[in-house]
Structure 1
């Protein structure tokens, strides 16, 4: 099993991809995308039948490990195969070499993610080695992952690339496929290649062939590497996918005949990309993937001050690191990344190295240069304890394919607005070592020293880099940048181990609008002034820009493109303003909320109340007819087409040739029921983890036996439908478990005072605390309306539409005089506050701290859900939480109308 535990946002992204793939098989890619992403699907060049979706992951979010987990997920949920062929496209040869090595190295997390599903039969190769994989293994015995660059396939003339050339090395492969296609079960139909561009030998090809090999092959598929890949309809993974949105790239991907395409990038081209899931900076920070905030020091004196400041920061950080290690948090050695000026300027790399050694007296071994011509980092393990390197000088040679686990400080001697590689270096500095929060607070931040005249100019340049080049959101960026004057490290004071940062962003929210003229009408608006910047008068705006001010600003700009750019600048400015005003950004604490706990009797110890504790008291009999019969699952075959039903609404229609046989040499004639049970046991290990292996095997054997004998489904047909069978078993087992847990939860938790019930009480010793900077709201579900909520604790709001009943409830809460501040609750642990239920946890819509110190939990329900049994259970749990709090907590179950009271009256009654 894989040893690398996925982060919550990574698992959420994969869950979203799995749900989309399942829906796409039933509804089609476009309808499924509209359902799961809430937007229209862009079919682009691949047509409506080929899913092409994107996971948008900011710099530092771990795109490659997601890709490794996505291959088996898409193979099962979309392709329905145990042995997929995947083509993994990367942007450069450097990345290709690194990715290929990682996927081929036993024990590497990328390799383990695949071996956990496919075992040691996994094959990973480059384009040059594809012909060495025996033809019978493709699609049957082994998973083939081909790592290449998009440039290998991107060409106008297919004859100019070896991948499209007629190659005798592929003769046995195509002859094998042709033999298999003659009526053999699971064979490949070469006719599909005739629809692909440049896939068939033409008379022109024969005329231009000096070898004469092509004579006699006119009208037949080329024996080419590209055609061999296309024949297997590969899963295509595209890393840094924003680089492939060109007509040449589309044509190259079409030639691969993909079954589906998964794109990964931090900065997608929105108009041409189907973003299915978007990870935010706060999600990365909540999982300790990146350091926040970025402490930005500007040095108007010039590069000597910036360099000296960076060296001093490194020395202080190293002192903090030594204390941190002594306190048991592991070894780090903070490193500075210097971005020198170009050759010919005042301070190129070698001159900077000389300055550091001769003027600042740094040891030579601590300073290395890494550029295109000077490769000082080769054969160095920067994470090794005996490595002396603390300062790395580059220009832009480290833009990709390189990592520096201990990078903490960026010192750029170039202008941030023009430095083409600063975001790549900043990406290294943002990454948290080992993805683990450090004990000393200074080591949880990143640092930047830049040559700039004032903080606002440098901060805006840095914000633009983070937003437009690294995939972060404006609201997140506002809490990512801090001034050094507010942080003790720069003042020389001792840092407390857990001292939270206090962000001072007033300079950041005064935005310079270069495109505007200081007209009297504009200057009459609040917050608008004229400042001299770089010797010229320019319009600067502080505070929120309303609709009237925006209209006056737009009136000065001509042309739709320039107006759209100004609108984006205004929206970014308002997001920064809103973030600075939020209580969390101002360091205001949120009152702790008690969790629920239980005792089995008055003398017993107090334990956290979780669903798992209830499940331990549940005993399921999985061999009853009710347990082994799968309601809704049905397989019907007519000729070479069969239909699989999972429920009354969900049906999948497949042709026999669309479904691969089971891997590992399972043929249609030799497969047995035990083989299918064994496959189900391996596939459903996680879903049925509460059962021992003997219990799982007995249950799965009973299910298979029921399908074979009571339902009369032939074994071969049931095997072909194995992925849908596994999904149906998962769903049914979940229903059985939920029903038993519901009954047990009612007896042990909700029926207080009855015989055998637990003693439930709040646990104030282990409360939930909302922490500033820990609100990982998914980007695609964030509130984006114009109404400004004044009391929301965090700068962003999760899962709130602009309008509707919940929006109205949020407005009433925000304006209520009893409310000090409130949170749109996240439905995820540990950042959201949840109460236990029989199915898991219940995350109420809103959490509030009242002016009198009490805390309130509020859930809004539409009329259609008021009588739902599970919703009633939630209300009972919430009431129990409040009743046991000794008056320190209140719970409200709110509806549009309730006992003759309006929503506002209900809220008054709850908060009174």
Structure 2
């Protein structure tokens, strides 16, 4: 299981934030600069930009990732651990406290992270060389395979609930009590300032504090109280990562995942189709018929090569009063009377669990109808759930907020060939339908989506609504004189096979299906448009109210809006159902058959940067010692484990050193980890004992060299593949990029005449500024634009990572110039590869397209010095 494109962007944002910490050596400054470079400085009056860092836990990086429901928060967190620990000194134990708000989520998290066949555990095993252990609170308390030696040798994840640590009286929680099973840890404490004074040394909380864990807070919006902050403080964390779809105001958001990204990756069934019936009897009938319709379509799709799907209905039986708290049992009996087989109906509530031990995804499973109340807190999930049928009283506003997310997950995280299997359905019978819609919006918002993601049709006549509300008032004023809400009328319910009495139902189902098909088509059009956009671009469109943006100047608008810049495209064979799809070219698509393990291992290890990075221990506020990110100059750094490693047989040395380098190199998607491991092993096998000793001392320097070599091999292969496909017309170009009406440049540059926008982005150097000032002053220049970086501006996509030229210049005669500036010290293979790509882009575009790489005084092949470039551009 690999990261989706938006998930990779989340990890890149986290890496970038850690880089800012290394550069600034201050958490708040790093966070503020990170967002200022993206969105511009924060303006308190207008609330533009990202609000400054909130120092919730002193001296500890505490950041949040906003991910909608079904966006893969847990998988992102598994990958984030490798990113975080890579920035830390390897001598610090890799200890993680994984906090969850509810007991059912606790069990689910422990199960998934522990299961060797689950993608989460498989990813952790890959990232941490299969040295991973998952602990429950009970296992920790008992010291089950939990001791200082084990913890120092592996990734240790302690999965715990908020309640087990959050306490008004610490003596009420076992984690704060004396524990002889953990005495081995107490014997090895070296810094007693990290311990809680009034708590026994052997208490679990003090053991955890001594490890300075990374803390993952799942559903972190539930951990905002003073008690929760105290809970986090008590853990003595080195880093805190919050995961939630709905961050609170005091969250330090480091990465947003736009909802459209989940739609692009087919992870959710959207939009939600909401249909309001006359009464709950009609709701049941529609649910039965719609389920059968969807199942028949799923069967046909499977016969055509698709995967097995068995659409499931969630009947929401809301609890009533103390006298009538078994509505779910009554509903099951009513469904049985209609003629539904008992094996197809299950109850799943906090009090009654008939799903225990049942695999809902299995082909052998017969369950098609689940009676529930609040699936979120009842702790279960099933991507086969398609229909939420609420059986609340007609006069109620249906409260679907907490259960809606259960029908949003897309089976197999893939687009279905049958359009009706790409959306989800909510069936109601509510006289207060507008209030119900508000609750649906709240449910979508709590899942990280919005009111744009549902479509509704209300078929309940106004007179029925008025009558229902009047009856409710009469029941309140004169309960002894009024009848209770009408029950389900079994005789009116028709099964899908009952053709004699199904005419009204079929009419309703036809309306729902027609609505679903229309809205799914609209959603697909939106997805196709967004496929040509980077996740960063879609994020900016969703967060425009937060960022500082600047408009295109009216005087330049007419010419600029008619310009389309072309990008390279490729036809991708997605799967057997959908065939060929046209997608923007990227390096990933060119590396499909790349085998790194066969490439040469000639690397010059004689020249190293002397910069080594590690986390050092510095004294913080209140005498707390917390990890800080800082650069050190110490090529003679020693590790007591080195002699032990070198004393082992050569084969063991190779395996150990390869594993350490593999961990530091991390993910280089799309190159498989197995290929990277083979390549590293070949390198270490070629080294002598002295060189292996040097690797152990300067692992980070060697890692950078090896990563650079791997990247050069991948780039060379991708370029050759690009040229072959371009020659055979399998790669082509389309005019797909246009200047946006507004830009969000982040940091602002100087005011230079002839710019396209009200303000332009900052330059990276004085050389850049001087070059564009020279070009902008030429009489033939219509306008210039400081092209924005990753995800924001125009990229020449090709065989390398997307190339974002520094400037886009347009002349009065309509010539379009991409301008890349380079200092004279930047004449290297990377610059040469960009020149070759830029020249191909210009040549394939036609006579009015030009690419200039400009140096100060030198003129490498295909490039120009600034004077020559100015001379040539002045003629265009």
Contact 1:154 1:248 in 2 (8 A): yes
Q: Assess, with a 3 A threshold, how the Cα gap between structure 1 residues 492 and 380 changes in structure 2: closer, same or farther.
A: same
Q: Which moved more, 1:132-141 or 1:671-680?
A: 671-680
**Cα offset for 1:442?**
0.9
Change (3 A) 1:825 1:73: closer
> How far apart are the structure 1 equivalents of 2:68 and 2:455?
16
Question: How many angstroms apart in 1 are the aligned matches of 2:343 and 2:514?
Answer: 29
**What are the residue-to-residue correspondences of 1:334-733 with 2, within 5 Å?**
334-344=311-321, 348-358=327-337, 361-396=339-374, 398-414=376-392, 422-452=400-430, 459-467=437-445, 469-472=446-449, 474=450, 477-481=451-455, 490-491=510-511, 501-502=521-522, 595=569, 612=591, 622-623=601-602, 627-634=604-611, 652-653=631-632, 666=644, 677-683=657-663, 684=665, 687=668, 696-697=680-681, 699-700=683-684, 719=696, 722=699, 724-725=700-701, 727-730=703-706, 732-733=708-709
Q: Structure 1 pair 413/808, CA: closer, same or farther in 2 (3 Å)?
A: farther
- In the TM superposition, what is the alpha-carbon distance from 1:615 to its structure 2 partner? 8.6
Equivalent residue number for residue 278 of structure 1:
256
Change (3 A) 1:73 1:503: closer
C-alpha displacement of 1:411 = 2.1
TM-aligned CA distance change 1:145 to 1:421, over 3 Å: farther
User: What is the rounded CA distance, in whole Å, between the counterparts of 1:661 and 1:427 in structure 2?
Assistant: 51
Distance, in Å, in 2 between the alignment partners of 1:891 and 1:481 is 45
Deviation of the 1:336 alpha carbon: 1.3
Pick closer, same or farther for the CA change 1:445–1:862 going to 2, 3 Å.
Answer: same
Residue 801 (structure 2) aligns with:
840
- 2:24 matched residue in structure 1: 27
Deviation at 1:387, TM superposition (A): 2.2
Tell me whether 1:5 sits opposite 2:2 in the alignment. Answer: yes
The one-character-per-residue Cα deviations of 1:284-336 (angstroms, maximum 9, x if unpaired) are 1111111122122233x233333333333222211211111111101101111
Contact 2:402 2:443 (C-alpha < 8 Å) held by counterparts: no
Q: Contact conserved, 2:613 with 2:630, CA < 8 A, in 1?
A: no
The residue that corresponds to 1:238 in the other structure is 217
- Quickly say closer, same or farther: Cα 1:628–1:159, change in 2 above 3 A: same
Give the CA deviation at 1:880.
3.6
Contact between 2:662 and 2:680, CA under 8 Å: does it hold in 1?
no
Residues 95-128 of structure 1: per-residue CA shift (max 9 Å, x gap) = 1122112222222222222222334542222122
Decide whether the 8 Å contact of 2:608 with 2:701 is kept in 1. Answer: no
Decide which of 191, 203, 210 is 1:224's aligned counterpart.
203
Q: Distance in 2 between matches of 1:350 and 1:257?
A: 48
Compute the displacement of 1:406 (Å): 0.4
Partner of 1:112: 122
Q: Give the direction of change, closer, same or farther, for the CA distance of 1:61–1:629 in structure 2 (3 Å limit).
A: same
| Match of residue 303, structure 2, among 326, 349, 369 | 326
Q: Which residue of 2 aligns with 1:44?
A: 55
Q: Deviations over 1:780-832 (max 9, x none)?
A: xxxxxxxxx9998xxxx9966699899975899xxxxxxxxxxx999689x99
CA contact 1:341–1:347 (8 Å) conserved in 2: no
Higher relative contact order (CA closer than 8 Å, sequence separation 6+): 2
Q: Which blocks of at least 5 consecutive residues in structure 1 are unaligned?
A: 178-187, 200-220, 506-567, 573-589, 598-607, 642-649, 709-713, 751-756, 776-788, 813-823, 848-855, 901-905
Partner secondary structure for residue 367 of structure 2: coil
Structure 2 CA distance for aligned equivalents of residues 228 and 653 of structure 1: 29
In structure 2, do the counterparts of structure 1 residues 862 and 686 end up closer, same or farther at CA, with 3 Å as the change threshold? closer
**Which residue number in structure 1 is paired with residue 768 of structure 2?**
none
For residues 261 and 609 of structure 1, the distance between their equivalents in structure 2, rounded to whole angstroms, comes to 34
Shift of the 56–861 alpha-carbon distance from structure 1 to 2, 3 Å rule, reads farther
Q: 2:130 matched to 1:132?
A: no
Conserved 8 A contact 2:271-2:520: no
Aligned to 1:252: 231
> For residues 387 and 76 of structure 1, what CA distance do their matches in structure 2 show?
44
Instruction: Give the superposition deviation at 1:283.
Output: 1.0
**Distance change >3 Å, CA 764–CA 273, structure 1 → 2:** same
- Report the CA distance between 1:280 and its aligned residue: 1.6
Q: Write out aligned runs for 1:786-865 (5 A).
A: 809=756, 835-837=797-799, 839-842=800-803
Distance between the aligned counterparts of 1:414 and 1:800, measured in 2? 50
Aligned pair partner of 1:54 in 64, 82, 100: 64
Question: CA–CA distance in 2 between the matches of 1:858 and 1:83?
Answer: 55
Residue 267 of structure 1 corresponds to which residue in structure 2? 246
1:306 corresponds, among 283, 291, 299, to 283
Please give the alpha-carbon distance, in whole angstroms, between the structure 1 residues aligned to 2:123 and 2:731. 38
Once the two structures are superposed, residues 235-266 of structure 1 have per-residue CA deviations (whole angstroms, 9 ceiling, x without a partner) of 11111111111111111221211111111111
**Conserved? CA contact 2:376–2:406, under 8 Å:** no
- Asked if structure 1 preserves the Cα contact closer than 8 Å seen for 2:662 and 2:676, the reply is no
Distance 1:166 1:408 in 2: 49
Contact kept? 2:61, 2:239, Cα under 8 Å? yes
Change (3 A) 1:63 1:400: farther
1:73 Cα deviation after fit: 3.0
Q: Normalising by the residue count of structure 1, what TM-score does the alignment of the two structures yield?
A: 0.63
| Cα deviation code 1:163-209 (max 9, x no counterpart) | 1112222223322x1xxxxxxxxxx4132334x4634xxxxxxxxxx
CA 1:691 to 1:463, structure 2 compared with 1: closer, same or farther past 3 Å?
Answer: closer
Say how many residue pairs are matched. 697
What is the CA–CA distance in structure 2 between the aligned matches of 1:693 and 1:52, rounded to whole Å? 33
Task: For residue 861 of structure 1, report the CA deviation from its aligned partner.
Answer: 6.1
Q: Tell me, what secondary structure is at the counterpart of 1:422?
A: coil
Q: Is the 8 A contact 2:127 2:666 kept in 1?
A: no
Closer, same or farther: CA 457–875 of 1 in aligned 2, 3 Å: farther
Deviations 1:711-743 (CA, angstroms, capped at 9, x unpaired):
xxx85xx64663x335533554367659x849x
Give the distance between the partners of 1:416 and 1:310, measured in 2 at CA.
Answer: 17
452-461 or 61-70, which deviates more: 452-461
Task: Indicate if the aligned counterparts of 1:91 and 1:150 stay in contact, CA closer than 8 A.
Answer: yes
CA distance in 2 between counterparts of 1:400 and 1:798 reads 45
- The RMSD of aligned alpha carbons is 5.7
Partner of 1:817: none
SS in 2 for 1:402: coil
C-alpha contact 2:103 2:161 (8 A) present in aligned 1: yes
Range with bigger deviation, 7-16 or 491-500: 491-500
Is the contact made by 2:398 and 2:436 (CA closer than 8 Å) also made in structure 1? no
**CA deviation after TM superposition for structure 1 residue 504, in Å:** 13
Structure 2: segments with no counterpart, 5+ residues: 37-49, 460-506, 526-541, 547-563, 572-584, 619-628, 760-786, 809-813, 854-865, 868-872
CA distance in 1, matches of 2:432, 2:732: 44
On the 8 A contact 2:400/2:440 being kept in 1, the answer is no
Flag the 1:735–1:325 CA change in 2: closer, same or farther, 3 A.
closer
Residue of structure 2 in register with 1:292 after alignment = 270
Structure 1 residues 107-152: Cα deviation after superposition (integer angstroms, max 9, x where no partner)? 2222222222334542222122222335342442333221111111
